[in-house]
Amino acid sequence: MKDEVTRDDRVANLKGLGCSRKRVEDARFTQGKGNYVDDMNLPGMLTGDFVRSPYAHARITSINTDAAMALDGVIAVLTAKDLEPLGLHWMPTLAGDKQMVLADGKVLFQGQEVAFVVAKDRYIASDAVELVEVEYEELPVIVDPFASMKSDVVLREDLDPTAPGAHGPRKHHNHIFTWEVGDEDGTNAVIDDADIVAEESMYYHRTHPCPLEPCGCVASMDKVNGKLTLWGTFQAPHVVRTVASLLSGIEEHNIRVVSPDIGGGFGNKVGVYPGYVCSIVASIVTGVPVKWVEDRMENLMSTAFARDYWMTGKISATKEGKITGLHCHVTADHGAFDACADPTKFPAGFMNICTGSYDIPIAYLGVDGVYTNKAPGGVSYRCSFRVTEAVYFIERMIEVLAIEMNMDSAELRRINFIKKEQFPYNSALGWEYDSGDYHTAWDKALKAVDYEGLRKEQAERVEAFKRGETRTIMGIGLSFFTEIVGAGPVKNCDILGMGMFDSCEIRIHPTGSAIARLGTISQGQGHATTFAQILASEIGISADSITIEEGDTDTAPYGLGTYGSRSTPVAGAAAAMVGRKIRAKAQMIAAYLLEVHDDDVEFDVDRFVVKGAPERFKTMGEIAYAAYNQAIPGIEPGLEAVSYYDPPNMTYPFGAYVCVMDIDVDTGVPTIKRFYALDDCGTRINPMVIEGQIHGGLTEALAVALGQEIAYDDMGNCKTGTLMDFFLPTAWEVPNYETDHTVTPSPHHPIGAKGVGESPHVGGVPCFSNAVQDAFRPFGNRHTNMPHDHWRIWKTANDLGLHD
């Protein structure tokens, strides 16, 4: 019998959309063959290292570099004075503020960069750092944003206290901006008249993305041809090139920025750090390559933190539980400089997604940004801009409202979900949600975990606890989240003026394989695997025959990079569109080869066939070959295309999570018994990659909810500068995750995909936190702040009298 290749076989051979294709990058990662910045060694390369401030707030009275310069092997010690003539002692931040590259007269946070030592190797550089003598005069330290707003102490002496900042008027010398969305008077009126109002204040603590690989770069100025090459841990290499050009005056075509393999970013590698600027200057001055790679403590103490939001909410409802209004105010602690990485017009990111998955008719959000003596940052750690904060806020407010109403919070959510038929849905705070089917997802999730049964078990446990038969209580954490990802439409989203489109360029080779390049950059997301799948389905070439390249600005088309789950919604869309351009040309070539009219052929998996005569066809391989070897009238040779995609809207992935947790009230130790995660990210490109992203994001959510924190003492000393104290969960702490999904495609995305890398983090944090809080609800708990480490859980039990 003849082995016939069926249409299904041909579809399978593509390894396109929906295929759980193994990650092509893993072969090198699992064999230690990755190529990270610190693996780079160029001839004559020097190493830089920072002298950092031990104080959180101090005036610098002198810097003496003599002893350091005298050390054999030290080439230079840069201070602000050396950078000033170049205008590089300060640099602009992504948030419209400016930041010291090297301390200019004073330091504003512990770990701030004071001087940059350049030496022959890393060891000499570290020795020299110890020899730089800096005299400080300590100033009063402010670590609390509320105290900051009342303090006479001026943190930022460089700013005119009366002049407006990048985002409008400032109320106080330590105030950065006020950002307001929605109708405050209307919201207050609704809340004042409501049957039921629940109020709560909550602190979303400061934490840190802590990628396994810290930040670093190698700068190499070639004085002969005038070209600067910068390899670095950049989540947005093209933007770095533009910024480097604007700052240095070097023309953009003479700058090449390369992001090699990146060991995780999670938002930490979006911004520009003093180390990059100093390395560039040092390479320009010395004429040889200069490497700077920070260590773990420097990463935790000085590069971009996440969260640090003090949120106060009021939510009102009818007696039946229908939510009528939401009021939210945030005091945002931005540290010493406003270095948030948000689209320019959104100083608090997309915090105005805080109405969540609920049909709330009226709402108001006000955010005040404040300076303190803490490290700058405010990046989106595994979330779109401030979306974890927003989702945590609303998912806690729902729980608090349920407590106020003595109602089951699963039911309260169900009553208030935006209904399927309301999409596209315009939220009270200005977003247009593209698609959703929340009720279906919620019902599926609750059924999967036997929610009713869990509640019964919990009630029995409470009774057993009260009878003294157990010291372990049980919590059921719920969360339903809607994200806003895929920034974003150029009409309202830009970073430093660069519109947030993204791009894909593809060249089909004569033998029918291809190389595609995108403006994004993978940091572990598996782009080389999944983008090839999108292209495979669009073009009809197997994903295995498509190389994906990103991160080299000399070869890749301009794009805004990878963060905020934007790669699939934006660059993934560009990939689909570029595929369609290829297909359009291929169709003409096929028609010519088959000697029929263009409209008489149609695409079928991996070929064009004559309509009604499927035995007459040209495969994509044949078409590619013809594109290069045959003169076709009216058609240029070659088969390549580029697409720049400006998304018409954001995408809105959503999901339903349930966590079942036991808590030992005597020790404060939580044990996760079960974690169920249903995600709807629209069209699913690679279920296995999705599953991997969910596991990773949930684990980072567990970390943040249960202990991961950047904490300071009153003197502004960072107390969590090593992995002994900064909680990174290991396999031991992580439960078995059950994953599930529904599929509600995005109506405006070319393939209906929404992005998924950050969903588990966004939905996971409130779910873990709600589980802890729910365990204590029967004993009178209303709200306690994260992180729920052992002692804070213990304290909740203690405050509720459970140790008496």
Smallest CA-to-CA distance from 298 within 718, 730, 727 is with 718
Strands 46-52 and 290-293: parallel
Residue 666 C-beta: closest distance to another protein, Å: 5
Binding to another protein, residues 376-415 (CB under 8 A): none
Q: Which residues contact 152 (CB under 8 A, 6 or more apart)?
A: none
Which region among 9-17, 145-153, 730-738, 758-766 touches another protein (by CB under 8 A)? 730-738
Of 711, 739, 782, 799, the one binding another protein (CB under 8 A) is 711
- Among residues 363 and 793, whose Cβ is nearest to another protein? 793
Which region among 132-140, 552-560, 727-735, 768-776 touches another protein (by CB under 8 A)? 727-735
Of 768, 789, 796, 802, the one binding another protein (CB under 8 A) is 789
Binding to another protein, residues 187-216 (CB under 8 A): none
Based on the shown chain and the rule CB under 8 A, indicate whether residue 715 belongs to the binding site for another protein: no
Which residue is catalytic, options 52, 170, 307, 382? 382
Q: Which residues contact 112 (CB under 8 A, 6 or more apart)?
A: 52, 53, 100, 103, 302, 336, 375
Of 296, 507, 616, 673, the one binding another protein (CB under 8 A) is 296
Catalytic residue check, 389: no
Based on the shown chain and the rule CB under 8 A, indicate whether residue 598 belongs to the binding site for another protein: no
Q: Which two tokens stand for residue 293?
A: 């790679």
Smallest CA-to-CA distance from 375 within 719, 725, 789, 729 is with 719
Residue 714 C-beta: closest distance to another protein, Å: 14
Residue 183 C-beta: closest distance to another protein, Å: 43
Residue corresponding to tokens 């803490």: 374
Q: Is 735 exposed, middle or buried, given 0-12, 13-18 or 19+ CB atoms closer than 10 A? A: middle
Q: Which two tokens stand for residue 689?
A: 């990659």
HSE toward the beta carbon, residue 782, CA cutoff 13 A: 12
Binding to another protein, residues 14-73 (CB under 8 A): 49
Neighbours of 295 (CB within 10 A): 13
Of 13, 126, 151, 470, the one binding another protein (CB under 8 A) is 126
Which residue is catalytic, options 758, 767, 773, 777? 758
Which residue is catalytic, options 210, 278, 383, 718? 383
Which region among 327-335, 383-391, 401-409, 790-798 touches another protein (by CB under 8 A)? 790-798
Q: Which two tokens stand for residue 490?
A: 């150029």
- Spell out the SS3 assignment of 231-262: EECCCCHHHHHHHHHHHHCCCHHHEEEECCCC
Q: Which residues contact 562 (CB under 8 A, 6 or more apart)?
A: 235, 236, 265, 520, 521, 522, 523, 525, 527, 571
- Among residues 72 and 152, whose Cβ is nearest to another protein? 72
In angstroms, the CA 79 to CA 551 distance is: 31
Of 130, 138, 158, 192, the one binding another protein (CB under 8 A) is 130
Phi and psi torsions of 30, nearest 5°: -75, -15
Contact 571, 520 (CB under 8 A): yes
- Among residues 25 and 298, whose Cβ is nearest to another protein? 298
Smallest CA-to-CA distance from 292 within 52, 81, 122, 436 is with 122
Strands 613-619 and 425-426: unpaired
Smallest CA-to-CA distance from 652 within 424, 365, 410 is with 424
Which region among 88-96, 302-310, 454-462, 723-731 touches another protein (by CB under 8 A)? 723-731
Which residue is catalytic, options 99, 110, 112, 235? 235
* Per-residue binding letters, 744-763, with another protein (x by CB under 8 A): --------------------
Catalytic residue check, 31: no
- Among residues 715 and 723, whose Cβ is nearest to another protein? 723
Of 98, 120, 122, 444, the one binding another protein (CB under 8 A) is 122
Based on the shown chain and the rule CB under 8 A, indicate whether residue 794 belongs to the binding site for another protein: yes
Residue 37 C-beta: closest distance to another protein, Å: 17
Which region among 12-20, 72-80, 90-98, 783-791 touches another protein (by CB under 8 A)? 783-791
Of 432, 462, 790, 800, the one binding another protein (CB under 8 A) is 790
Which region among 121-129, 237-245, 322-330, 495-503 touches another protein (by CB under 8 A)? 121-129
Catalytic residue check, 4: no
Residue 733 C-beta: closest distance to another protein, Å: 6
Of 73, 96, 687, 729, the one binding another protein (CB under 8 A) is 729
- Among residues 95 and 125, whose Cβ is nearest to another protein? 125
Residue 471 C-beta: closest distance to another protein, Å: 9
In angstroms, the CA 485 to CA 482 distance is: 10
Which region among 200-208, 239-247, 571-579, 717-725 touches another protein (by CB under 8 A)? 717-725
Give the E-state strand segments of 606-690 in sequence order. 607-610, 613-619, 640-645, 654-664, 669-680
Which whole-number Å values give the CA distances from 466 to 279, 427, 473, 758, in the listed order? 63, 44, 10, 40
What is the b/e burial string over 165-187, where b = at least 16 CB atoms within 10 angstroms of the residue's CB?
Answer: bebeebeebbbbbbbebbbbeeb
CA 350, 351, 356, 358 dihedral sign is negative
Which whole-number Å values give the CA distances from 333 to 395, 721, 725, 741, in the listed order? 22, 19, 22, 36
In angstroms, the CA 291 to CA 288 distance is: 10
- Among residues 366 and 787, whose Cβ is nearest to another protein? 787
Catalytic residue check, 758: yes
Residue 293 C-beta: closest distance to another protein, Å: 11
Residue 725 C-beta: closest distance to another protein, Å: 5
Of 174, 537, 720, 742, the one binding another protein (CB under 8 A) is 720
- Among residues 19 and 131, whose Cβ is nearest to another protein? 131
CA 12, 13, 15, 20 dihedral sign is positive
Residue 205 C-beta: closest distance to another protein, Å: 13
Of 733, 735, 739, 785, the one binding another protein (CB under 8 A) is 733
Which whole-number Å values give the CA distances from 628 to 581, 603, 625, in the listed order? 17, 20, 5
Which whole-number Å values give the CA distances from 737 to 383, 392, 677, in the listed order? 20, 20, 7
- Among residues 293 and 658, whose Cβ is nearest to another protein? 293
Report CA dihedral (744, 747, 753, 757) to the nearest 10 degrees: -80
Q: How many residues bind another protein (CB under 8 A)?
A: 34
Based on the shown chain and the rule CB under 8 A, indicate whether residue 133 belongs to the binding site for another protein: no
Residue 249 C-beta: closest distance to another protein, Å: 34
**Helix (H), strand (E) at residue 502:** strand 502-508
- Among residues 615 and 732, whose Cβ is nearest to another protein? 732
Return the SS3 of 395. helix
* Per-residue binding letters, 640-679, with another protein (x by CB under 8 A): --------------------------xxxx----------
Based on the shown chain and the rule CB under 8 A, indicate whether residue 588 belongs to the binding site for another protein: no
Give the E-state strand segments of 681-797 in sequence order. 737-741
Of 223, 345, 447, 795, the one binding another protein (CB under 8 A) is 795
In angstroms, the CA 698 to CA 765 distance is: 8
In angstroms, the CA 16 to CA 542 distance is: 7
**Which residue ranges make up the site for another protein (CB under 8 A)?**
49, 122-123, 125-127, 130, 295-297, 666-669, 707, 711, 719-720, 723-725, 727-730, 732-733, 789-791, 794-795, 798, 803
Q: Which residues are catalytic?
A: 235, 382-383, 758
